[in-house]
Amino acid sequence: MIFILFIVFLPAARLQETQYRQDQCPSGSCNPQLGDLMVGRAPRLSASSTCGLDGPQNYCIIGYLEEEQKCFTCDSRLPYNHHGNPNSHRIENVITTFDPERKTKWWQSENGFHQVSVQLDLETVFKFSHLVLTFKSFRPAAMLVERSKDYGRSWKVFRYFAEDCLLSFPSVSNQPANSIDDIVCDSRYSGSDPSTNGEVVLKALDPIFEIRNPYAPNIQDLITLTNIRVNFTRLFTLGDILSRRRRNPQDKYYYALYNMVVRGSCFCHGHASRCTPVDGGRGDVFTQTGMVHGRCVCQHNTAGENCERCQEFHHDSPWRPAGRNTANTCRRCNCNGHSNSCHFDATRFEATGMQSGGVCEDCLHDRTGSQCERCRPFLFQDPQRTADDPHACRPCDCNPAGSEGGGLCDALSGTCVCKENVEGRHCNQCKYGFFNLRRDDPAGCQGFWGLGHSEFRCSACDCDVGGAYSTTCSPEDGQCHCLPNMVGRQCSDPAPRYFLPPLDYFLYEAELAAPLLPLDPGYALQIVPRQRKTDQSITWTGLGLVRVLEGAGLRFTVDNLPSPMDYQLVIRYESEVKKTVRVLVMICFLQTKGLKPH
């Protein structure tokens, strides 16, 4: 025989580099390898019943003939040892090893107990792929598998298994699942054949269903768990005739498992290809080979045990699980060097067309803005300095009375923003013709006229609010800037051949209107005369008011409008009741004197 042996010594640095490259998953989602979650977790595995824990117990196996029955002893006081303690059947025996003696090693429950459960408690959230149980005994006549995602606080059944589903689980459907969410009873794994080495298999996701989005909440619900529990609920028994003849018929009915495999991997949302021990390896210095660890070595700038969030200062894009071809990397925030913390803001993300959602927190160096990109109010960015210079923000130097906002300047140029009638680099002087710079004057300075005329020395403009364009007037003669057809120095008079109607120029008194009596023909207009009282303002014109009952009305005839144009109809009334009054207005147009209806 010829052996050829290659031994390659890699320098430590190269090894690390190889490891580093393996950790990377640049182009899309990367997933850690599947393994058996049971491996290395004996202390986290438990069974509600195990034979021989308190001392030797007898059990028998059934042959084809009654006479073939053979009996043995179970003694699980000490752990299994092939040479010293081969009759120990503790639960950790079901963990797959590659020992040569693995077929002589199994877990076994106490005789005659129907309700027995086996439970694995994981230290964090894992991704579950499938479960395989290999029995030494007959498979159970009925059982179920359930899992928890909150460390055992709440449980949800994955699937029921029974030889006779209707009998064992009458409320559960025994039809094949229609959707991935259906919880059904499966009878394929509970028959009496084979009598040993029979398997029960449970897949997290039935391959007959097409999984479009592996991160949909219901899929996540099915494939993640922190605990898994198998409840055996009914022992398989060969019928009563046989057992009644025996002295101790219970002895041959128990659950015995060679193997329990929980295939899965750490749960990293597609952001890691490798995992390490959850407690950082402190307690697990000698972690078993083949053990599937729970803490993801996160890539794509993600963090957390399950890469379930973005790393610090990487919140410019929202956290998302990696897609098949997209890494969905968390992007670093841009704070121009003025902050070390940021958070994601969905509104900003949308407003920027999904470009940037990072909002910097506590900007330093007198800065503000989502990216600390602006100087605070009353400061401006020195054009000689770069945006990341901590000393780039300089005070505005604007006169608080003459500039907008009490001293604001343009954030980039530093130019003071002067009020309307103010000028100067620092907004500290009134424009020509204006005087009296005051902080409480929104325009900064007032305009006056007549400077130099001894007669009208510094008179106020007093432009008519309704008749002039603005409040300022000519400094020479005080002429205000008039609207069309308005004249006079203050623009308060109508131009010749124009008149200035007051708002209620066309006035129609209710006392002179005709009554409308749709309901009560005996109703006549009731005029309520009013007299002026000293403590009351006059709210009426004419004689006083007309009392109009509910449901009644008045008809006004309007026949004196000089020309067609837009008119505003104003109805002035007072209510004598404390409730909302609804007034119905109907307008009829009559075409007379060449006026067209409008």
Ligand X SMILES: *[C@@H]1O[C@H](CO)[C@@H](O)[C@H](O)[C@H]1NC(C)=O
Q: CA distances (Å), 494 to each of 375, 469, 482, 491, 502, in order? A: 52, 15, 10, 8, 12
| Of 109 and 231, CB closest to ligand X | 231
Q: Residues 6 or more apart from 110 whose CB is under 8 A from it?
A: 49, 50, 51, 57, 254
Q: Residues 6 or more apart from 193 whose CB is under 8 A from it?
A: none
Q: What is the CA radius of gyration of the chain?
A: 46
| Of 172 and 204, CB closest to ligand X | 172
Neighbours of 18 (CB within 10 A): 11
| Of 144 and 200, CB closest to ligand X | 144
| Of 146 and 251, CB closest to ligand X | 146
In the structure encoding, which two tokens stand for residue 74, read together? 């179970």
Handedness of CA 432, 434, 435, 438 (dihedral sign): negative
Do 423 and 434 touch, CB atoms closer than 8 A? Answer: no
| Of 48 and 97, CB closest to ligand X | 48
In the structure encoding, which two tokens stand for residue 254, read together? 């128990």
In the structure encoding, which two tokens stand for residue 4, read together? 């050829």
| Of 174 and 485, CB closest to ligand X | 174
Residue 169 backbone dihedrals phi, psi, to 5 degrees: -130, 70
Question: Which 3-state string (H, E, C) describes 393-431?
Answer: EEECCCCCCCEHHHCCECCCCCCECECCCEECCCCCEEC
- Using CA atoms, how far apart are residues 460 and 543, in angstroms rounded to an integer? 42
Which of 231, 328, 336, 399 touches ligand X by CB under 6 A?
231
- Using CA atoms, how far apart are residues 501 and 494, in angstroms rounded to an integer? 10
Cβ 118 to ligand X shortest distance, Å: 9
Residue 46 found at the interface with ligand X (CB under 6 A)? no
Q: CA distances (Å), 168 to each of 132, 161, 232, in order? A: 22, 9, 12
Cβ 230 to ligand X shortest distance, Å: 9
Place of tokens 């109010």: 377
The H or E element that residue 482 is part of is strand 480-482
Which of 53, 132, 157, 417 touches ligand X by CB under 6 A?
157
Binding to ligand X in span 6-25, by CB under 6 A: none
Cβ 232 to ligand X shortest distance, Å: 9
| Of 168 and 339, CB closest to ligand X | 168
Residue 48 found at the interface with ligand X (CB under 6 A)? yes
Classify residue 154 by its DSSP letter: S
Binding to ligand X in span 427-456, by CB under 6 A: none
Cβ 154 to ligand X shortest distance, Å: 11
Place of tokens 């067309």: 353
Per DSSP, the three-state class of 536 is: coil
Which among 37, 47, 143, 41 has a CA at the least distance from the CA of 91? 47
| Of 157 and 242, CB closest to ligand X | 157
Cβ 115 to ligand X shortest distance, Å: 7
| Of 183 and 513, CB closest to ligand X | 183
Cβ 223 to ligand X shortest distance, Å: 20
User: Based on the number of CB atoms within 10 Å of its own CB, is 94 exposed (0-12), middle (13-18) or buried (19 or more)?
Assistant: buried
Residue 49 found at the interface with ligand X (CB under 6 A)? no
Do 144 and 157 touch, CB atoms closer than 8 A? Answer: yes
| Of 260 and 486, CB closest to ligand X | 260
- Using CA atoms, how far apart are residues 291 and 41, in angstroms rounded to an integer? 8
| Of 144 and 219, CB closest to ligand X | 144
C-alpha torsion angle, residues 449, 452, 457, 463 (rounded to 10): -10
Cβ 231 to ligand X shortest distance, Å: 4
Do 88 and 79 touch, CB atoms closer than 8 A? Answer: yes
Residue 110 found at the interface with ligand X (CB under 6 A)? no
Cβ 157 to ligand X shortest distance, Å: 5
Q: Name the pairing type of β-strands 358-361 and 341-344.
A: antiparallel
| Of 115 and 218, CB closest to ligand X | 115
Q: Reduced to 3 DSSP states, what percent helix, strand and coil does the chain have, rounded to the nearest 5?
A: 10, 25, 65
| Of 126 and 232, CB closest to ligand X | 232
Cβ 235 to ligand X shortest distance, Å: 15
Cβ 218 to ligand X shortest distance, Å: 20
Tell me, residue by residue from 159 to 188, as one string, x for binding to ligand X by CB under 6 A and - for no binding: ------------------------------
- Using CA atoms, how far apart are residues 441 and 502, in angstroms rounded to an integer? 31
Which of 92, 146, 366, 423 touches ligand X by CB under 6 A?
146
Residue 363 found at the interface with ligand X (CB under 6 A)? no
Cβ 156 to ligand X shortest distance, Å: 9
| Of 119 and 490, CB closest to ligand X | 119
Q: CA distances (Å), 591 to each of 558, 595, 598, in order? A: 12, 6, 10
Residue 144 found at the interface with ligand X (CB under 6 A)? yes
Residue 117 found at the interface with ligand X (CB under 6 A)? yes
Cβ 173 to ligand X shortest distance, Å: 16
| Of 229 and 338, CB closest to ligand X | 229
Cβ 147 to ligand X shortest distance, Å: 11
Cβ 158 to ligand X shortest distance, Å: 10
With CB under 6 A, what is the number of residues at the site for ligand X? 7
Cβ 203 to ligand X shortest distance, Å: 19
Q: Which spans of this chain sit near ligand X (rule: CB under 6 A)? A: 48, 117, 144, 146, 157, 229, 231
